[in-house]
Amino acid sequence: MSASPVSDTRAQRNVIVLMLAQAVMGSQMPMVFILGGLAGQSLATNICFATLPISLIVLGSMLVATPMSAIMQRYGRKVGFFVGAMGGAMGGLIGAVGLYYSSFTIFMVGSLFTGVYMSAQGFYRFAATDTASDKFRPRAISFVMAAGLVSAVIGPQLIKVTSEAMVVPFLGTYLAVIGINLAGSLLFFLLDIPKPEPVAKDQPKGRSRLELLKTPRIAVAIIGGMVSYALMNLMMTSTPLAVVGCGYTQNNAADVVMAHVLAMFAPSFFTGHLIARFGVEKIMGLGLVILAGAGVVGLSGVELGNFFVALTLLGVGWNFGFIGATTMLSSAHTVEERGRVQGMNDMIVFGFVTIASISSGGLMNCSGGSPVEGWTAVNLAMIPFLTLAGGALIWLVMQPQKD
């Protein structure tokens, strides 16, 4: 009836490989997010479009999410992760060419390719659960996410070393991104995750996408992940522009974002334990409350300390909200529905994040006469979405208890 027992020894090996990939290859994400807006601001003819390169990274991730999931469902995680790494290397190469020729258009094309890597990285957390038992699953997700702590240090430090290393600003950083992808992709040879078995014609194929979306836990998990990630991106994307615009240095901006990314991943060492002890709904709810706290601190002033505290709270809130949503989603579908659910989830989540990223630049640069007014607009924009996610979570908790 049921399959043979899941070996957590195998799962633990895969988690270690995925943690290394998250730490090494994941370092490119803070690099391109910190510099994407600043490079865009120097290349764009209209500063309202400064964060468009970051938006295109997220758009690329959204567009690739469903086919990436299909590739992994058919050919296995390893193939999908190699495709992602090659997309990241191509993004770094095209971005470097755009910087060299001062072409905003070419730079944006590179950003779109970077989204291929971002999409693949999003599946690390799901891959961690493929060979894990139900008991180990929340911790497997948390451990892989926790490895982002290392990437949070490596990425900003590489920026400090490489951003001014060449005559063309930021060119050295984008060349470093190429090396990170090529070297880091070798880790995937160590993965031991079997390819999914093809679904036989007489086997149940699971629920349709519409039926899945009508499932309360899946719907709320998607909303929770969508809002947590989008608000994190909305605020983080505009932070380097706000910090520099308020009179601080580029290194100050890198330090603030580093503190933020550390806060995103440091709680992962115990988030899985908190979910197991208190329940996923309570941890998701706590994440939303902390995200609201980030907005309150952001509205209270533009001292450097305010940026550090607001972005730290933003990272912790994202961690609880997003890992909680991922855990809720991973327990709400069958094996045959896995590719369908995960691809649909990431397409919706990153579609919403794309909108938030595009809005971030417009709110920051074009909603007021000063960086302070733009930063205020960014923080106020969080309110309706926190209301949506909070309402959805309360609705789920109030549903009758049944499987």
Q: Show the tokens assigned to 170.
A: 């930021």
Handedness of CA 56, 392, 284, 399 (dihedral sign): negative
Structural domain harbouring 67: 8-193+208-397
CA angle, 314 as apex, 271 and 217 as ends, to 5°? 55
Does 3 fall in a domain?
Answer: no
Q: Residue 2: its pLDDT value, please?
A: 38
Domain count across the chain: 1
- Give the CATH number for residue 322: 1.20.1250.20
Would 199 be classed as within a structural domain?
no
Give domain status of residue 262, yes or no: yes
**Is residue 1 domain-resident?**
no
Q: Give the pLDDT score at 401.
A: 66
Burial class (CB in 10 A: 0-12, 13-18, 19+), 165: middle
Is 402 among the domain residues? no
Whether 201 maps to a domain, the answer reads: no
Q: Give the C-alpha distances (Å, rounded to integers) separating 143 from 96, 106, 146, 352.
A: 33, 37, 5, 26
First-to-last alpha carbon distance for the chain, in angstroms, is: 20
Q: Considering the entire predicted model, what is its pTM? A: 0.75
Taking the CB of residue 161, how many other CB atoms lie within 10 A of it? Answer: 11
Residue 383: burial class (beta carbons within 10 Å; 0-12, 13-18, 19+): exposed
Q: Give the Cβ contact number of residue 373 at 10 Å.
A: 12
pLDDT at residue 343, rounded to an integer: 78
Domain-embedded: residue 254? yes
Residue 284 is predicted with a pLDDT of 95
pLDDT digits (tens, 9 = 90+) for 216-257: 899 999 999 999 999 998 998 889 889 988 989 878 888 898
Tokens describing residue 91: 């993004």
Return the SS3 of 5.
coil
- Which candidate, 253, 227, 186, places its Cα nearest to that of 25? 186
In a domain? residue 198: no
Q: Is residue 19 within 8 Å of 144, Cβ to Cβ? A: yes
For residue 320, give the nearest of 216, 232, 218, 213 by alpha carbon: 232
CB 326 within 8 A of CB 338: no
What does the pLDDT read at residue 7?
58
pLDDT at 339: 73
Each residue's pLDDT tens digit in the chain (403 positions)?
334 444 588 889 999 999 999 999 999 998 888 888 788 888 988 877 877 888 899 889 888 988 998 899 889 999 999 999 999 999 999 999 999 999 999 999 999 999 999 999 989 988 988 888 878 887 888 889 888 888 888 988 898 899 888 999 899 999 999 999 999 999 999 999 888 776 666 566 777 778 888 888 999 999 999 999 999 989 988 898 899 889 898 788 888 988 998 898 888 888 888 988 899 999 999 999 999 999 999 999 999 999 999 999 999 999 999 989 988 988 777 777 777 887 788 888 888 888 887 888 788 878 777 889 999 999 999 999 999 999 999 999 988 765 4
User: What is the SS3 string spanning 225-268?
Assistant: HHHHHHHHHHHHHHHHHHHHHCCCCHHHHHHHHHHHHHHHHCCH
pLDDT tens digits for range 266-295: 888 888 889 888 999 999 999 999 999 999
